[in-house]
């Protein structure tokens, strides 16, 4: 028999505006303590150097974390020209310098090369595993770290301005697995100089944005009263790109028990919906999310069942 988790069964998402200096794990721990939540996770790590949107999953929302991590992200950041560092950000030691400072015109001309599908090598100070060890642990131990290149998607790369000759501000919209530190390093190299990230902020992570976020300080002030829960977003917020299917109560019970539901009856109520094999959907009973499901061989089959009650 599984041991009951300590804490309250809270289900939903919080978009936390992470402050500078805290790790994602530290934010998760503080949210867990403040809300006395039984189960908490996050949808995409932010380094202590970075600020911005850190989606926090509570309870059954943890079953949808992968959909947030796979979603698009928006970053605003600053590159410091003329200094390369060991970590590709301001926390590392300076490893190389250059007197070359790119003009705005040169920067703008270089950006299209870094848009679309591009190949990048992650920073050696990253959480990627090499022979079972984290790359940053190997790098800190002084070992030579060689990481394979990967293909990532950059939807847009915009120069916002240059406050002085040593710095330039940017905004990037990108897909899963993109390392902004690598992007800064490689752009500097393409411009004939070196550079590193001096400021980094995530402005959006999938459907979680600055508009629906709450600061950790505000959450602290609200304490364990009902206040923090007013900022709770529904579990299905993470599934905004997945179509919803309305089920009857008997169909919902069947799906929640792990059994498939025939497409024929549901399709008659959704004449515009796609029931092609492989289609993912969120199965709903009223306003309650029953399960993440997949259409296969004429059936709606549960992928992740949600243990929720109607509010």
Retrieve residue 154's tokens.
Answer: 């950059």
Picking from 263, 250, 253, the residue whose alpha carbon sits closest to that of residue 299 is: 263
Catalytic residue from among 8, 17, 47, 131: 47
Task: Indicate the SS3 state at residue 14.
Answer: strand
169 is known as an active-site residue: no
CB proximity list for 192: less than 8 A, separation 6 or greater: 98, 100, 102
Which burial class, exposed, middle or buried, applies to 146 when counting CB atoms under 10 A from its CB (0-12, 13-18, 19+)?
A: exposed
> Which residue(s) pair with 92 in the sheet?
none
Task: Please tell me the distance from the alpha carbon of residue 308 to that of residue 285, in angstroms, as a whole number.
Answer: 11
C-alpha–C-alpha distance, residues 46 and 94, integer Å: 22
Using CA of residue 28, residue 29, residue 32, residue 35, what is the dihedral sign? negative
Q: Taking the CA atoms of the chain, what radius of gyration do you get in angstroms?
A: 22
Residues with Cβ within 8 Å of 286's Cβ and at least 6 positions away in sequence, in order, are 310
In the numeric block, the tokens 């950059």 are attached to: 154
- 89-103 b/e (C-beta count within 10 Å ≥ 16 → b): bbebeeeeebeebbe
Going by C-alpha positions, the residue among 238, 301, 303, 245 that lies closest to residue 273 is: 245
Q: Is 190 helix (H, G, I), strand (E, B) or coil?
A: helix
- Give the residue numbers annotated as catalytic, written as ranges: 47
């Amino acid at each position: 028999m599984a041991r009951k988790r300590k804490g309250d069964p809270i289900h939903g998402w919080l978009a936390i505006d992470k402050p500078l200096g805290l790790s994602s794990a530290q934010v998760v721990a503080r949210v867990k303590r403040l809300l006395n939540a039984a189960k908490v996770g996050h949808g995409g790590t932010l380094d202590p150097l970075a600020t911005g949107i850190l989606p926090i999953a509570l309870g059954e929302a943890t079953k949808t974390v992968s959909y947030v991590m796979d979603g698009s992200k928006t970053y605003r950041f600053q590159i410091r020209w003329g200094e390369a560092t060991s970590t590709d950000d301001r926390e590392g030691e300076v490893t190389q310098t250059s007197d070359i400072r790119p003009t705005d015109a040169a920067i703008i001309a270089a950006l299209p090369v870094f848009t679309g599908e591009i190949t990048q090598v992650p920073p050696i100070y990253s959480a990627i595993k090499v022979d079972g060890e984290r790359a940053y642990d190997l790098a800190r131990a002084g070992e030579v770290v060689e990481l394979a290149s990967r293909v990532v998607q950059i939807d847009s790369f915009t120069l916002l301005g240059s406050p002085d000759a040593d710095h330039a501000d940017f905004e990037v919209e990108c897909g899963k697995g993109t390392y902004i530190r690598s992007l800064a390093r490689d752009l500097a190299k393409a411009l004939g100089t070196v550079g590193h990230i001096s400021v980094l902020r995530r402005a959006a992570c999938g459907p979680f944005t600055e508009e629906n976020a709450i600061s950790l300080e505000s959450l602290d002030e609200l304490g364990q009263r009902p206040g923090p829960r007013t900022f709770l977003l529904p579990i299905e917020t993470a599934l905004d790109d997945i179509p919803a299917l309305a089920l009857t109560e008997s169909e919902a019970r069947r799906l929640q028990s792990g059994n498939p539901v025939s497409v024929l009856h549901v399709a008659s109520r959704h004449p515009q919906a796609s029931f092609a094999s492989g289609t993912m959907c969120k199965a709903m009973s009223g306003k309650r999310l029953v399960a993440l499901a997949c259409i296969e061989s004429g059936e709606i089959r549960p992928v992740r069942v949600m243990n929720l009650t109607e509010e």
